[in-house]
Amino acid sequence: MRTRLAACALALAALQPALAQSAEGHPGWPGPGQLFAGVNYQPVDRSLEQVRRDVALMKQAGFKVVRMGDLSWDYFEPAEGRFEFRHFDAVMDEMKAAGIQVILDIPGLPAPMWLHHRYPGADIVNQAGTRLAPAERYMDNIGDPDYRRLARRMADTLTRRYAKHPALLAVGYDNEIGNGFMSYSEADRRRFVAWLKQRYGSIEALNQAWATQRWSRRIGHWDEVRLPYADGPGPAERYLDLRRFWSDVTIATLDDLEAVRRHNVPDKPVLSNYWDWSGRKGFDFLGSYRRHTTYGAMGFYAGDAVSGGWEATMIKGGMSTPTWFNEFAAGGGGSYGSKGWSRMWAHFVLLLGGQAALAWTFNSHLGGEEQALMGLIDHDDRPSWKLGEWATIAREYAVLEKLGFPRRVEPKVAIAYSFENVHATSPNGPSNTVRQYIKAPYLQQAQGAFEPLLKDNVDVAIIKLSYEDLSRYRLIILPGMYLLDRASTEAVRQFVANGGTVVMTAQSAKVNDNNQWHATPLPGGLTDVFGLRTNEFYDAAGTLTLGGEEIKGTIAHYEVLEPSSAQVLARFTNLEGTPPAITVNRFGKGKAYYLATPAQPQIMRPLLRQLYAQAGIEPGPKTPDGVFARAVDGRVLYVNTTHAPVDLPIEGDGVGVLSGKHWHGTLRLEPRGVDLLQVQP
């Protein structure tokens, strides 16, 4: 390791780089022009002697930051109103002495057992009406007023205690918030009714929104309203409102904590470990993040580049701040790990605008739910090889932060995404025909549009249309946006009229804000923008020719397009009558493309490549499949996510800043290998 690091230092010195600022200034921004390698740490079952040994190892590894406090409410408040900070005070002081900064994660989840015992409203009640003991973490009813009151007090007490501590870098809220449970108590039903009254105003409006005239389900008064089933039968309209309600409950919890932070530590940013896409509950992060965060932040446990890249991009939304990965797979999830795995992904996230990677976790847990999720320190307190790998990440981050990292990301391409659309396309109940209509899950379609952009090394934003300034983008893709609400519909119209380019795929703009099909020609509210209408659809996979290339679709669904002002760019060659497959329409100053199939990479790729030049989008460096790259300050960072070596042709000679090697005409990346290439003419 020392030989390679020495070579790295020599290469760096030879390059004589200029220091680069990563991005615009931001209040509370921790270290513009800095990268952070660090770790999650749970001192709750570590003696002070162990803490001192742990901190010494962290310092030796070059860690700049630790995240602490999460999942530890009763560590700070073992009984109601009785707070104990002596042990954590000592831990904070040890971090300060070692020069390690702290993300203090407010532990609102899970709630302590004493809270559940004294305030049973915090218990989860399932759909059958059974009250559940808090047997697993996150089994807390965060809508309960007593829970919210006590969580605010916990946050207030903790942040006041450490607001001026010199080790404090940032605060976070409720680890993995969004991964909780929905509850069905009578109190929850009453809160749901209050939410409906605010949303709809009257029983008449609710009946219309829920289409209760169907199947004799008309509601006569508010007492007849029940919480829709999350798992079981029920109309799609009600199911969507159930998801919206619990999303708003989650956001209200974040609002509570953000109000505390603004009062007690207004100079510190928010770095929360969000899980907004959790299937259990989730929440509308992309429609609310400006209310409760300053950085996109998440736990990164990638199994592949496309899904990992999607999540890493989605958590950034439209933010200009770099992204923090508050939890990071330490060698691979659920097993002892694979060497080079963490290092590869730690550089992969830098391509997407990452600023920090914090390993989960420092010491392997002896008990609890994650006994076999190995950390950097084995169960017998011996450092594993993982600590050495993370020390390498820390050293390489220290090199890269002087060479233009964290990378400033200013995407010109956006993919539309919404929490509501996720649930509109996957309603509950086996009899709901939406499940028969949607031939590919929404997330599969969204990633089908994202994959070719990622592999072309094009920067992308994943956004909620009605929440962002769309003038920042030149191309917006709407993949399978089954529910496109009124605000988003109008945003698309204005974007195209003002000169933007949009691509909409099949199964988009079918239902309105209430999850009911439009009574007007489809795509709802946008037929003039796309210059066509489409109503018929059939279960068949189409083959088309685009740019001289024959492309075979793999999803058995296509829509029959009826162009009015739109021009046909491609037709299905294997379907009767060779119906239109892709159309384009001029609207205002812009163009609107419609794809008659659901979004899938093999069709989206050639279409997008035709649009790059037209929309003024420049792809990144050309790389083979599985290798990703971005140019930063005249150098190119390459990441090989495959398990085989890859040889990349380069023009002239080059120096690998990370490898310390000189390359002649070819750059070799080992399996899971990375390097920053400085080409020398």
pLDDT of residue 31: 66
> Could you tell me where the DSSP H helices lie in 498-544?
527-530
CB under 8 Å to 207, separation ≥6 — which residues?
Answer: 213, 218, 219
CA 44, CA 71: separation in Å to the nearest integer? 10
Ranges of the chain with pLDDT below 50: 1-26
CB under 8 Å to 91, separation ≥6 — which residues?
Answer: 43, 48, 51, 68
Complete domains list, the chain, with CATH: 19-184+227-400 (3.20.20.80), 413-615 (3.40.50.880), 627-680 (2.60.40.1180)
CA 440, CA 428: separation in Å to the nearest integer? 16
pLDDT of residue 577: 95
Residue identified by tokens 């939304």 is: 317
pLDDT in tens, 46-75: 999 999 999 999 999 999 999 999 999 999
Phi, psi of 348 (to 5 degrees): -60, -45
Phi, psi of 590 (to 5 degrees): -115, -170
Strands annotated E in 381-500: 413-416, 460-463, 475-478
Q: Regarding beta strands 124-125 and 131-132, do their DSSP bridges make them parallel or antiparallel, or are they unpaired? A: antiparallel
H helix and E strand count, the chain: 18, 25
Q: Do the Cβ atoms of 55 and 440 come closer than 8 Å? A: no
CA 140, CA 114: separation in Å to the nearest integer? 12
197-217 core/surface letters (b: 16 or more CB in 10 A; e: else): eeebeebeebbebbbbeeeee
Question: What pTM does this model have?
Answer: 0.94
CA 157, CA 82: separation in Å to the nearest integer? 11
CA 492, CA 476: separation in Å to the nearest integer? 9
pLDDT of residue 427: 82
Q: Regarding beta strands 580-587 and 567-571, do their DSSP bridges make them parallel or antiparallel, or are they unpaired? A: antiparallel
Quote the tokens at residue 107: 């532990």
Q: Is the dihedral of CA 131, 135, 136, 142 positive or negative?
A: positive
Q: Which among 226, 132, 157, 148 is positioned nearest to 188, based on CA atoms?
A: 226
Q: Regarding beta strands 567-571 and 558-563, do their DSSP bridges make them parallel or antiparallel, or are they unpaired? A: unpaired
CA 327, CA 67: separation in Å to the nearest integer? 9
pLDDT of residue 551: 96
pLDDT in tens, 523-582: 999 999 999 999 999 999 999 999 888 999 999 999 999 999 999 999 999 999 999 999
Secondary structure (H, E, C), 452-478: HHHHCCCCEEEECHHHCCHHHCCEEEE
Q: Which among 570, 592, 435, 597 is positioned nearest to 508, based on CA atoms?
A: 597
Cis previous bond, 322, omega within 30: no
Q: Residue 632's Cα: distance from chain center in Å? A: 24
Burial class (CB in 10 A: 0-12, 13-18, 19+), 659: buried
How many C-beta atoms lie closer than 10 Å to residue 1's C-beta?
A: 9
CA 298, CA 308: separation in Å to the nearest integer? 11
CB under 8 Å to 516, separation ≥6 — which residues?
Answer: 211, 237
pLDDT of residue 233: 86
Q: Residue 12's Cα: distance from chain center in Å? A: 34
